[in-house]
Structure 1
């Protein structure tokens, strides 16, 4: 019994390794394999077997097939579908892997089909028949050498139908990425649009201020860095820098200090001149009456026959200042390389007009004392000495706030023009309304006669009321006129606050940009 059990176990093991012996129907189930020549069978067994069975015994067994090597695993390819795994393969076919800049994104095909005509939608379309892509296995992963950070927001737009963007993105970069993916017309979410618009406004303000600063430098320097060519013009750049740039050298600082002292002296002379003129007119003209009403004040003056005489020492001192100003202006004019731009500068024109009063008084002589109106006109021109002092001190050129204010007004010219049009329309409308309101009120018995002279007096009253100044020289007397005055004052306050916030916000933006530009 033990021998039979051992033979059975050994035969099963041999049959498992051989493979084909156990499937042969004519072999005995428990006969062990023969290692040498087979012993002759018993005679009774040979007689009981058929010739076919004998032939089968004479055929050697089929050797076992070799096992697959571990380095060559038998893994089916993607297009192959095995029985029982159809559900898993359908889930795999419904997904795409997008490798953008080394970052992999996995999404469904139904997601990228949300916007037809885009680049991601074209990935899901079947390839044309007959092409290598149609004959090969389906591709599940696509690579794009684009910005991986922005692609996350692009894929989010396919999923949520809302396009967002990071806070530190540039508008041009975002537009380029959206155009590449075929989403150039995609609307940006309001939250991100406000942030992106604010950054774009800051960029535009920075570029606008940079252009303004370059124009400012070109306008005030007016000098080619190379300078004049030849020995004849070699001194012009040196003289221009000496006169136009006070901080360039010690000599330029001393020259600027001397010019400032002369400008202060001219202003002191101008102040003394105004006192002499006031004394003359107070002694020579006497007011005879003053009336207040709708037509304004009426002042009559009487000439007492006095003669206006100017102190000689004031004229001589002013003449000395004018000689210095003229010499400096002439030196700046001949050393400046761009004469046209020099003459078009407002401050240079103010320097030229400052010389006229002294020259006119020298030419006219004693006749100026007999013409008070001419003296008043020359005194008004002398007020330009203030601009000369301002230019010498560098308030307009060196002050950052002043340059920002000028640039703010220059960039807000559309808003300023619109405000002026509204202002003129209100002046004309309320001026005529005040005129006919007063006429209708005065036409009532017992109201008296109108005291205004013409429409220009009503327009003057409208300007004073709209600005809420209210001098009190002209005021309404009728009920309709008073109602018009109340509406005019209210509209003046409402209109006056329209332009101030626009200028204030823009001034703050430009000032912040100017400070940042100085730190660069």
Structure 2
């Protein structure tokens, strides 16, 4: 029987990789001592073909050409068009550590891993939508159909029409609130309410200007009735959605629903108190009316809930979740530079600037300057102060631009992958159904 030749006694090594012949010096294969090619003599599983006197491996010859080239160069180089995940698996087969990859090729090696993680995150986020699997069922109960009608605009054309209608109602209610703050759409409260508010103003030592605004804050009857009708629709829609929802955990999982519910509740309480304020005739009723009127602003949270059906806002939320490190860096650098520039400005301006009385004022100035807002309520008057202000403004632009650029690039990547994901919705549905069936069997 023919004996396998020892690598030490052979000048050349013949490698058959997937039908393609490669030849190299035995010494070349020892470049990476821990690799599989450097330990060919230790291979006991018959990789050596005695008839052809060659080592055969059923691998991709195109990828192997880059791996063999790395033995000659002492470092691994790979083109950017190669999938890094596939090449990394090839390195694992040949027992070549990724630490030998040249720094210029790190992006090509690890970019695909980042892309795969991005795609997996997107698919997982899409699959977390319970309505997605519900829409794939052939027979739906009336309750399920109603739930999809109220909660999933993409489930049917009628659901889309209803979603647009509710969106218009929400926007109209906000516009009514805004219009009611215009003087021409307001009217003076009744004499009995005026006396009650005047008594309240005297008790809390309220200024006359503030009292005059309160006495003229009542919206005209047309706006008041319109707002009541709109909130009847919105409150009823929220209550009906809760009743028809089979899985209450799905309904409760949305924080904005909770906030909007309390906002509507406070609105109705505030309206009830204001309509019966004279009959109550109490300072506590006036205080409660003001408090619940301010708390009713929570109903605007419904706007954020509507963004769930808009893909761009979903991607934006996912981008911020994936950019926690960049946001932390932004907050840390901003806080550090605000404190530094604030105190330096305080030291430079304290003796010459009457408007700067303490360091907190200059810290506020530094924050406004670095965020490029620049109200102008505090300005430097000394030459040193102007130099510090210029440096603060420049640093602010740099600090804001660096992490923001990274976040924007992540948003573009997520959005691009989202469009690719939506082109293959059946694959996502099938994987979701498989996962559910597997979980039910367990």
TM-score by length of 1: 0.62
Q: Decide which of 312, 318, 324 is 1:401's aligned counterpart.
A: 312
Q: Does 1:104 align with 2:104?
A: no
Q: Distance in 2 between matches of 1:125 and 1:98?
A: 16
Q: Residue 239 and residue 487 in structure 1: after superposition, are their counterparts in 2 closer, same or farther (change >3 A)?
A: same
What corresponds to 1:242 in structure 2?
Answer: 149
Q: Please name the residue that 1:490 is paired with.
A: 394
In the aligned structure 2, how far is the partner of 1:385 from the partner of 1:402?
19
Q: Secondary structure at the match of 2:393?
A: helix
Deviation at 1:250, TM superposition (A): 5.6
Q: How many aligned residue pairs are there? A: 390
Matches within 5 A, 1:275-354: 275-276=182-183, 302-303=208-209, 306=212, 307-308=215-216, 310=218, 311-354=220-263
What's the CA shift string for 1:413-433, capped at 9, x where partnerless? 111011111112222233333
Give CA-to-partner distance per residue, 1:470-506, whole Å, 9 cap, x none.
2222223445544443332232222222222111221
Match for residue 458 of structure 1 among 362, 368, 375 = 362
User: C-alpha distance in 2, partners of 1:330/1:222?
Assistant: 24
**Once the two structures are superposed, what CA deviation does each residue of 1:150-181 show, in whole Å capped at 9, x if it has no partner?**
33333333333343346554444433433333
Indicate conservation of the 8 Å contact 2:84/2:108, yes or no. no
Work out whether 1:434 is the aligned partner of 2:345: yes
Tell me the SS of whatever aligns to 2:22.
strand
Change in 2 beyond 3 A, CA 1:278/1:482: farther
Taking the aligned partners of 2:164 and 2:53, their CA distance within structure 1 comes to: 81
Q: What CA deviation, in whole Å up to 9, does each residue of 1:22-79 have, x standing for no partner?
A: xxxxxxxxxxxxxxxxxxxxxxxxxxxxxxxxxxxxxxxxxxxxxxxxxxxxxxx999
Work out the CA distance in 1 between the residues paired with 2:216 and 2:351: 49
Query: Following TM superposition, by how much is the alpha carbon of 1:508 offset from its aligned partner in structure 2, in angstroms?
Result: 1.8
Compared with structure 1, are the counterparts of its residues 375 and 144 closer, same or farther at alpha carbon in structure 2 (3 Å cutoff)? same
Instruction: Please point out which of 156, 174, 177 is paired with 1:267.
Output: 174
Q: What RMSD over aligned residues (CA atoms) do the two structures have, in Å?
A: 4.2
The answer for the alignment partner of 2:330 in structure 1 is 419
Distance 1:418 1:358 in 2: 43
How much does 1:330 deviate? 0.9
Deviation by residue 1:167-220 (Cα, 9 ceiling, x = unmatched)? 5544444334333334235612345433233333322322222223333x24x6
Cα distance change, pair 227–381 in 1 and its aligned pair in 2 (3 A): farther
Asked if the contact 2:186/2:216 (under 8 Å) is kept, the reply is: no
CA distance in 2, matches of 1:203, 1:109: 37
**Does the Cα contact within 8 Å between 1:325 and 1:351 map onto a contact in 2?**
no
Say if 2:87 and 2:109, in contact at 8 Å, map to a contact too.
no
Residues 452/340 of structure 1: CA separation in 2 closer, same or farther (3 Å cut) = farther
* Contact preservation (8 Å) 1:113, 1:124: no
Give distance in 2, aligned partners of 1:314 and 1:420.
43
Higher share of residues assigned helix: 2
Aligned to 2:198: none
Following superposition, the deviation at residue 274 of structure 1 comes to 0.8
The residue that corresponds to 1:119 in the other structure is 36
Give me the whole-angstrom Cα distance separating, in 2, the residues matched to 1:240 and 1:309.
39
Q: Which has the larger Rg?
A: 1
Structure 2 unmatched ranges of 5 or more: 4-8, 45-49, 189-193, 195-205, 425-442
Encode CA deviations 1:349-389: one digit per residue, 9 max, x unaligned. Answer: 34314422232121243549999987776665565666546
Q: Flag structure 1 segments of 5+ consecutive residues without an equivalent.
A: 1-76, 80-91, 128-136, 285-299, 443-449
Conserved? CA contact 1:263–1:385, under 8 Å: no
What per-residue deviation string (whole Å, max 9, x for no partner) do you get for residues 79-137 of structure 1?
A: 9xxxxxxxxxxxx953333223333333333433444454334446899xxxxxxxxx9
Q: Describe the SS at the equivalent of 2:181.
A: helix
- How far apart are the structure 2 equivalents of 1:126 and 1:240? 63
Q: CA 1:438–1:372 in 2, change beyond 3 Å: closer, same or farther?
A: farther
- Length-normalised TM-score, structure 2: 0.72
| Residue matched to 2:90 | 177
Q: What is the CA distance between 1:325 and its match in structure 2?
A: 1.7
**Matched residue, 1:506:** 410
In structure 2, what is the Cα distance between the partners aligned to 1:93 and 1:258? 81
Aligned to 2:379: 475
How far did 1:335 drift? 1.7
Q: Conserved in 1, the CA contact under 8 Å of 2:85 and 2:112?
A: no
Distance 1:479 1:117 in 2: 65
